[in-house]
Amino acid sequence: MVVGYKTYLELIQGLLTDQEVVATGMRGEVSRCQTAIDRALAGDQVAIVSSGDAGIYGMAGLVLEIARARGLRLGGLEAAAADLRLEVVPGVSALNAGAALLGAPLMHDFVVLSLSDLLTPWELIARRVELAAQGDFVLAIYNPKSAKRTWQLPAVQETLLKYRSPDTPVGIVRRAARAGQEAVVTTLGQMLEHPVDMQTVLFIGNSQTLAAGGYMVTPRGYGGKYELE
């Protein structure tokens, strides 16, 4: 059985043959995972489909949370006695795919952060942005804006401008590695002039990040040690 959010199942249409398919809508995550676990306990082989990397803001965590809440034994790395055998298959997250489109923004230490306050209080998100800025981390920002949630990204920009130049390169990638993908390199000062939605990831450079021939790159420091020209 294959279980997933319907948009993601459509993306893998070509891979599906005669499997039973259970498609659910947005916000159906919990019931989707419960169904998958129930069926696996009944002896079926079940795949839960997530977009990008299931382990990064995807479904892998919820499956483990539910299994734990239900007291199921998973065997784990020691492959001990188990009610359920689990395999998490890694993937290319929007942080990997988006960065590749932009050049190489994530070549040095970075923070990955979601601005969605659906499951996380805004105070914690805001604090993390401030600390990331203080640490001169590159930032990869997921879920920057939704139809109802529009003021967070300007707040992030304001915080970052306390620590970084408005000329800091910023990359904006929408639908990375999907049909209709879009990518642009702009600056911290001008980043709000570009359209952004829930399918967008923002890459905000650190103090070392450079614009490079239409791309962006965060140097690792070779320039200080070697002659690059």
Distance CA 171, CA 182 (A): 11
Q: Could you tell me the two tokens for 129?
A: 């942005």
Distance CA 101, CA 196 (A): 16
Distance CA 208, CA 186 (A): 15
Q: Does 103 bind its own copies (CB under 8 A)?
A: yes
> Which region among 10-18, 130-138, 144-152, 187-195 touches its own copies (by CB under 8 A)?
130-138
Among 64, 155, 192, 196, binds its own copies (CB under 8 A): 64
Distance CA 150, CA 223 (A): 39
In which element (H, E) is residue 212 found?
strand 210-212
Q: Does 9 bind its own copies (CB under 8 A)?
A: no
> Which region among 9-17, 40-48, 94-102, 193-201 touches its own copies (by CB under 8 A)?
94-102
Per DSSP bridges, beta strands 110-114 and 47-49 are: unpaired
Among 39, 41, 47, 75, binds its own copies (CB under 8 A): 75
Among 8, 137, 155, 187, binds its own copies (CB under 8 A): 137
Distance CA 187, CA 164 (A): 11
> Which region among 12-20, 40-48, 109-117, 155-163 touches its own copies (by CB under 8 A)?
109-117
Q: Does 213 bind its own copies (CB under 8 A)?
A: yes
Q: Check if the beta carbon of residue 170 is closer than 8 Å to that of residue 188.
A: yes
Among 51, 93, 152, 157, binds its own copies (CB under 8 A): 93
Site for its own copies in 170-209 (CB under 8 A): 177, 183-185
Q: Closest CB to its own copies among 184 and 198?
A: 184
